[in-house]
Amino acid sequence: MFKELLPIGSVVLLKGGIKKIMVTGIKPVSKDDDGTEQEYDYIGVIYPEGYLNDEFNFLFNHYDVNDVVFRGYENPERVEFIEYMEGVYSKEKDNQ
Per-residue pLDDT tens digits for 60-82: 999 999 999 999 999 999 999 99
pLDDT at position 1, please?
Answer: 64
pLDDT at position 95, please?
Answer: 67
Cβ within 8 Å of residue 79, ≥6 positions away: none
Cis peptide before 7 (omega within 30 of 0): no
| Percent of the chain at pLDDT exceeding 70 | 94
Specify the pTM: 0.87
Instruction: Tell me the residue length of the chain.
Output: 96
> Mean pLDDT over residues 27-51, rounded?
93
- The answer to whether residues 41 and 60 touch, using CB atoms and an 8 Å cutoff, is yes
